């Protein structure tokens, strides 16, 4: 993990295995999430992969001999790590530089924003291996692109390119491989420069609100709106707006 200008870059680093998600890599990711969560100097996270892949999926060699109990345990652990990432108190940008298949696609979907290289490939090909997605694919994919398109991809295992992923709404933007990390860094710095109490409240509202009915979600938003009015940044920013002056930086409190 590397940090710069309040942005941490977290790189999956098993390039020889196309960053396949084995138990050890999941534990490392879990530990990294804990460190980031406790570090107030980090405002935004970029998640990417070393080499030719973001993550080519869960490690099939490791899973081959699992029985039903072991398979369920592995899926539950992966899901718990991805859920922690999804609900991290800081925005997470996935910079998908290559294959994001199976668990790799699920990991990208647990991030808040997804930017893709033109070489990126997405898919949930688990059905062809005789299994279901195990790290949230059957739940996050329909929430992102809708049920009909998700059902087709999940039931056929079809792999799609970056432009189709953009058309479906799975990714926010597509860039050349050489531009990808720079574009992710630029977006991260823009978010990191905003008042962070408001940033974190917005993320929490979106994440929590997606799981409940509209009236409950609106109540979450009202609470978050009120919290922001207890901050110095709200007072300073509104005063600056009325006085037609610019604030160079925020206090984040």
Q: Which is it for strands 99-101 and 121-123: parallel, antiparallel or unpaired?
A: parallel
How far is residue 241's CA from residue 250's CA, in Å, rounded to a whole number? 14
Q: Is 126 a catalytic residue?
A: yes
Of the candidates 70, 106, 118, 179, the residue annotated as catalytic is: 106
For strands 113-117 and 173-175, give the pairing.
Answer: parallel
The residue from 118, 126, 164, 223 that is catalytic is 126
- Where residue 244 falls (left for φ over 0; alpha for ψ -120 to 50; beta otherwise) is left
The yes-or-no answer on residue 164 being catalytic is no
Residue carrying the six token digits 């980090």 = 42
**What distance in Å separates the CA atoms of residue 146 and residue 152, rounded to the nearest whole number?**
11
Contact 55, 21 (CB under 8 A): yes
Of 149, 136, 130, 87, whose CA–CA distance to 109 is shortest?
136
Sheet containing strand 113-117, strands side by side:
2-4, 7-12, 44-49, 92-96, 113-117, 173-175
Here the contacts of 126-131 (C-beta below 8 Å, separation 24 or greater) are: 126/102, 126/157, 127/154, 127/155, 127/156, 127/157, 128/157, 129/60, 131/71
* Active site residues per annotation: 106, 126
């Amino acid at each position: 993990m590397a940090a710069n200008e309040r942005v941490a870059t977290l790189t999956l680093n098993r390039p020889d295995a196309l960053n396949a998600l084995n138990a050890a890599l999941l534990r490392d990711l879990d530990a990294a999430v804990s460190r980031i969560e406790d570090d107030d100097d980090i405002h935004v996270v970029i998640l990417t992969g070393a080499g030719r892949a973001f993550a080519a999926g869960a490690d099939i060699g490791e899973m081959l001999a699992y029985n039903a109990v072991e398979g369920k345990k592995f899926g539950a652990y992966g899901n718990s790590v991805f859920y922690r990432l999804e609900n991290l108190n800081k925005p997470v940008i996935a910079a998908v530089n290559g294959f994001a298949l199976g668990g790799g696609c699920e990991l990208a979907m647990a991030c808040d924003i997804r930017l893709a290289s033109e070489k990126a490939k997405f898919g949930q090909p688990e059905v062809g291996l005789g299994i279901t997605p195990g790290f949230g694919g059957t739940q996050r994919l329909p929430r992102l692109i809708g049920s009909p398109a998700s059902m087709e991809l999940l039931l056929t295992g079809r792999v799609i390119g970056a432009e189709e992923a953009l058309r479906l709404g799975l990714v926010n933007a597509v860039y050349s491989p050489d531009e990808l990390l720079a574009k992710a860094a630029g977006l991260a710095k823009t978010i990191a420069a905003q008042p962070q109490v408001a940033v974190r409240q917005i993320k929490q509202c979106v994440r929590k609100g997606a799981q409940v009915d509209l009236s409950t979600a609106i109540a979450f938003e009202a609470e978050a709106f009120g919290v922001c009015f207890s901050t110095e940044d709200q007072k300073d920013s509104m005063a600056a707006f009325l006085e037609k002056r610019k604030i160079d930086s925020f206090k984040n409190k």
